[in-house]
Amino acid sequence: MPIQSNWTRIRTFVLDNEAVNAWDIYEVELLRFEEAWKALEWLLGRNPTIGVCREAGGNKYWLYKQDSDVFAMTPSIAVVYSFDDNHIYIHGIKAEEANRNWQGNA
């Protein structure tokens, strides 16, 4: 039976060593990274199938990118992850600051 989203419960996030190292760097270097991360945890923890799935070596890996918000100045965050009924396993993180020079219309 496939895992389905459940908006009333959230899975626990587990970061591997590479992801922990990236998180530590981004938390210091990027403005409002922790706030953007909490939003990502809220969404993925409840609906992990929102990402794009690929198989490698018989394992399923997912990719999800959360866009930056230039008005809130939150960075974009992309993660590679896998999951089960109770956990989201983060294998990689890539983050970039919001584009402060964006010239779009509000």
Q: What is the CATH number of the domain that holds 39?
A: 3.30.2310.20
User: In angstroms, rounded to a whole number, what is the distance separating the alpha carbons of residues 95 and 76?
Assistant: 5
Q: Report the domain count for the chain.
A: 1
User: In angstroms, rounded to a whole number, what is the distance separating the alpha carbons of residues 91 and 80?
Assistant: 5
Domain contains 105: no
Domain contains 3: no
Domain that holds residue 59: 12-96
Domain contains 6: no
Ranges of H-type helices in 1-106? 17-29, 33-46
Domain contains 24: yes
Go through the chain and tell me how many residues it has. 106
Task: Give the pLDDT confidence score for residue 106 in this predicted structure.
Answer: 47
Which residue matches tokens 């230039």? 70
Q: How buried is 91 (Cβ within 10 angstroms: 0-12 exposed, 13-18 middle, 19+ buried)?
A: middle
Give the global pTM.
0.84
The tens digit of pLDDT for each residue in 58-95 reads 999 999 999 999 888 999 999 999 999 999 999 999 99
